[in-house]
Amino acid sequence: MSDPPTRPGLREALAAFRYRNYTLFWVGALLSNSGSWIQNVTVPYVVFHLTGSAFWVGFAGFVQFLPVVVVGPLGGSIADRFPRRRVLLVTQSAQAAAAAVLAVVWAAGVRQVWVIVGLVALSGLVGGINIPSWQAFVSELVPREALLNAVTLNSTQFNAARAFGPALGGLVLGTAGPGWAFLANAASFLAVIGALLAIDVPSSWRGRVGGAGVRREFARTLRYVRGYPGILACLVIVTALGALGSPVFQLLVVFADDVFGVGGVAYGLLAAALGVGSVLAAPLVAGPGSGIARSVLVTAAVVVYGIAITAFALAPVYLLGLLALVVAGGGYLALASTLNTTIQVQVDEDMRGKVLALYIMLLTASLPVGALVQGSLAHLVGPRLTVAAAGIAFLLICGWLRAGTGWVARMDEEGAVAPRAGRAR
């Protein structure tokens, strides 16, 4: 009789770190994303204190993410046509330059909200080209058997930055001011640029150099995903997440000032709580959680996240709101990593960049709309009622998707095409 299978442990949870390229990318991304979250927590703070308006906070989120939607098809096409490492070096350098300009503008004493928002939109435009290559690049750094773990650890890295960056941003805001926060973000790009230069990937590139135009390729992508119900489920859920579940981040500054009556450091802790929860949940998702069916994991994550953000909206005191956001962060990690993993394992390699671009487009299209709508509603009826209603609507939509279609169950299927293999150390 054979021995019973052992449950995955810490070694399995960190399997992707056996690959040098992935480790370099992960560390560089952690430092760079921490800087980005410092800016993400600083921009709403600056906008709210310049205008005193929740609507303006929502509008700033709208223009930050809208450019990503506009250039999403182009970014996906680029990710499948050109070496992704080279694309990332260009886009990361451009984003570093945009962040440096924002720091210089603030240091020069410019306090017009339109200038701040415009520079944020410019950075978002470059980010729209960057993100598909960023997501698809992971498949070049590890072999297929480590891909699920690599995607989860990549989500963990992003959320670890979401924990560290806002906390540091709140500290910098409370002591040195926004200018230093913007400068820290600009400097943080050096980490990921250095990592990309040190990564050793094959020089040959098998992506297509020619082909149809961007619009025709986008139409082809839409036709392609209709044949994959599991991917369709991911696209619907991520759209609901962007429109209903994620705008709470833009509204945290309104909760800090108008609901809980706390200052910059406490506001930074609210923003960091989501990342803290993600980091705490990472061992469960990357290790034992990797043995759970994706359809089950995503259902549980939706319930946890939806209930947690509703509880945050209704929390009577700051501490309870902080704890609710920690729980929400754990649900967010499980949800985001499962959706991303499902797409990565089901998509064909020659469609990877374009399908990931569509996924990112839906998230980033729903984010600005959700931020604008929820910012406007928060201005009219208050942030508590707005976020609570959004949390309940998120649960209802995802509950319908689970009960009313067979798509969620199809998330457990595996794709047939293996990505490039990475080299173990």
Amino acid found at 72: G
Q: Which two tokens stand for residue 212?
A: 């149809």
Is 83 in a helix, a strand, or coil? coil
What is the average per-residue pLDDT within 134-140?
82
pLDDT, one tens digit per residue, over 267-310 is 878 877 877 887 787 777 665 555 678 888 899 999 999 999 99
Instruction: Evaluate if residue 405 carries a pLDDT over 70.
Output: yes
With tokens 């149809």, the residue in question is 212
**What is the 8-class DSSP label of residue 155?**
H
Kindly compute the dihedral angle of the four CA atoms of residues 69, 282, 236, 66, in this order, to the nearest 10 degrees.
Answer: -20
Instruction: Evaluate if residue 381 carries a pLDDT over 50.
Output: yes
CA atoms of 364 and 124, how far apart (whole Å): 10
Q: Is the pTM of this model over 0.85?
A: no
pLDDT, one tens digit per residue, over 79-100 is 888 888 899 999 999 999 988 9
From residue 140, alpha-carbon distances to 269, 302, 359 in Å are 35, 30, 19
